[in-house]
Each structure stands twice: as structure tokens, then as C-alpha cells.
């Protein structure tokens, strides 16, 4: 197990379109496990590969919030197959935008196709929080952050604060 450093916004590496995984090999499985450990440790409900500086279409999620009954999912090359017209509103956060939250509305029910850890094609239906988390993480694979779904005013406010925090941290590191 290895904990991976999480990239904090604003960062150009969070704005890229990730490439599909061509081969689910041992390196990919190790990455899935490391991403899951990193997500649980953070802690967070989901994590996408670009957040740990891997520009591949991979995400992990677990919305059980119960360390004794974990229920992780691993999605490789996820594709949205169906999305409901009815929406679900949730106050989203992101490990790449620590301590910032905003309400985002997304389809309440979705169906996704993906490759599992064995490289097998699977389908998954999800609703409410799990559907939100999967869509949030899938957005990351196309360089989209949850703040891209809110007003530009709120977005620039959050990004300005994150930039300021980054500068302060860099200064503290330089002085130490």
C-alpha cells in the first residue's frame, strides 16, 4: 500500500482529458489499490486518477462511510450509458479543493459501463449520492471540477482562496 500525493487546485494537471486504459495489468491494479488507500486516508468518497497525477480514465469510490463495512468500486474507462431526467442535489466537496463545498445538481440515476479490476466489461446502476460521486469523478477524467458547475463568481472566489492558501504554504516551506 502506498499513499499518493493529491494535487490541489488550481493546477493545470487537473484540467486535462485523460487517456483510456488499454490494458488492465498489474500496474493498473496496484494503482487502484493505492488510490483507494489514499481516498480512505484523506478521507473522501471518491478519487480520480488525475488527482494523483495519473492521466488515465480510472476512478475509485466508496460511499458507505463505514470503515467496518467497506464497499469500494473501481471503474476503468467509465462511460455514461443512461442518465435520468430527475436531478439530485448534493453539497459537493473534492480532495483537490479542500475545505470548499457547493451545491451541484446532477442526474439522480445513472447507468455506467466500465472495465473492472480483471479487465472485464461491466455495467453499474447508481442513484443519489453514489450517482453524484461517480459523475463527479468522471468529470475529473475530462478536466472538469465541481466548481465548473457553479456560478463563475463563486468559482473564482473558491479558486482565489485556494491560490492564496497555496502561496502561503509555499512561503512557509521556503522559510522553514
Write out the residues near Ni ion by the rule CB under 5 A: 94
Catalytic annotation, residues: 137
Do 44 and 63 form a contact (C-beta atoms < 8 A)?
no
Give the helix/strand (H/E) hosting 75. Answer: strand 73-83
Q: Between 77 and 132, whose beta carbon lies closer to Ni ion?
A: 132
Q: How far is CA 88 from CA 15, 16, 42, in A?
A: 25, 27, 25
Closer Cβ to Ni ion, 25 or 53, answer by number: 53
CB of 165 to Ni ion, least distance (A): 17
| Min CB(1)–Ni ion separation in Å | 21
d(CA 27, CA 111): 27
CA 158/CA 10 separation, integer angstroms: 10
Instruction: State the minimum distance, in angstroms, from the CB of residue 105 to Ni ion.
Output: 16
Q: Of all residues in this chain, which one has the CB nearest to Ni ion in the complex? A: 94
Nearer to Ni ion (CB atom), residue 94 or residue 108: 94
Amino acid at each position: 500500500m502506498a499513499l499518493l500525493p493529491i494535487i490541489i487546485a488550481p493546477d493545470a494537471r487537473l484540467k486535462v482529458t485523460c487517456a483510456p486504459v488499454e490494458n488492465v495489468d498489474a500496474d493498473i491494479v496496484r494503482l487502484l489499490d493505492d488510490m483507494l488507500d489514499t481516498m480512505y486516508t484523506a478521507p473522501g468518497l471518491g478519487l480520480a486518477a488525475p488527482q494523483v497525477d495519473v492521466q488515465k480514465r480510472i476512478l475509485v469510490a466508496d460511499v458507505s462511510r463505514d470503515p467496518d463495512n467497506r464497499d469500494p468500486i473501481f471503474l476503468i474507462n467509465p462511460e455514461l450509458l443512461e442518465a435520468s431526467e430527475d436531478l439530485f442535489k448534493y453539497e459537493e466537496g473534492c480532495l483537490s479543493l479542500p475545505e470548499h463545498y457547493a451545491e451541484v445538481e446532477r442526474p439522480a440515476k445513472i447507468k455506467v459501463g466500465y472495465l473492472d479490476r480483471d479487465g472485464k466489461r461491466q455495467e453499474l446502476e447508481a442513484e443519489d449520492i453514489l450517482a453524484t460521486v461517480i459523475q463527479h469523478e468522471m468529470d475529473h477524467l475530462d478536466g472538469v471540477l465541481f466548481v465548473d458547475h457553479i456560478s463563475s463568481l463563486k468559482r473564482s472566489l473558491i479558486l482565489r482562496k485556494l491560490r492564496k492558501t497555496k502561496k502561503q504554504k509555499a512561503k512557509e516551506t521556503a522559510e522553514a
